């Protein structure tokens, strides 16, 4: 499945063969700002396509990942696990700066009948914004002070 996800550059989202690995009624739970997607088409429309459009040259950092499992649950983390350039149409309100960043993430999958039925995704978005010169917590403090 992870190998399939890396095939986007050569054939778009169809090349990733999600139907082969993901249950048709899967649920994808992303971090705040990205949200939740239902079904393969929902995942493609609400997460995958915007992510790939904004970060078209994403690539894995080989040897940086850890995979662990227990029965129907699987986890994968890489810290950082991907390198990419924020370009294309921008992402999560981030203007396309053409700046290279790394992404730290953690995925948990629940499998059912050999396919992923649920996926919980944690992404260190504070780190993403920090690499782009945005201190989210400082901005939140400033905003909080302005309301007092």
Which phi and psi (to 5°) does residue 70 adopt?
-150, 110
Q: Which pLDDT score, from 0 to 100, does residue 15 have?
A: 55
d(CA 28, CA 36): 6
Domains observed in the chain: 2-146 (3.10.450.50)
C-alpha closest to that of 126 among 134, 117, 118:
134
Is this model's pTM higher than 0.75 or not?
A: yes
Q: Which pLDDT score, from 0 to 100, does residue 113 have?
A: 95
Q: Which pLDDT score, from 0 to 100, does residue 92 have?
A: 84
User: Which regions of the chain are under pLDDT 70?
Assistant: 1-16, 145-148
Q: Which pLDDT score, from 0 to 100, does residue 17 have?
A: 79
């Amino acid at each position: 499945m992870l190998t399939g996800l890396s095939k986007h550059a050569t054939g778009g989202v169809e090349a990733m063969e999600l139907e082969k690995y993901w249950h048709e009624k899967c649920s994808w739970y992303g971090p705040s700002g990205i949200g939740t997607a239902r079904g393969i088409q929902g995942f493609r429309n609400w997460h995958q396509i915007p992510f790939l459009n904004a970060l078209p040259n994403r690539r894995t950092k080989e040897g940086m990942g850890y995979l662990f499992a227990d029965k129907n649950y699987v986890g994968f983390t890489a810290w950082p696990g991907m390198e990419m350039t924020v370009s294309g149409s921008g992402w999560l309100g981030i203007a396309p700066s053409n700046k290279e960043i790394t992404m730290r993430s953690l995925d948990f999958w629940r499998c059912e009948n050999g396919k992923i039925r649920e996926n919980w995704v944690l992404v260190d978005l504070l780190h993403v914004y920090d690499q782009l010169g945005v201190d989210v917590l400082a901005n939140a403090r400033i905003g909080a002070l302005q309301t007092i």
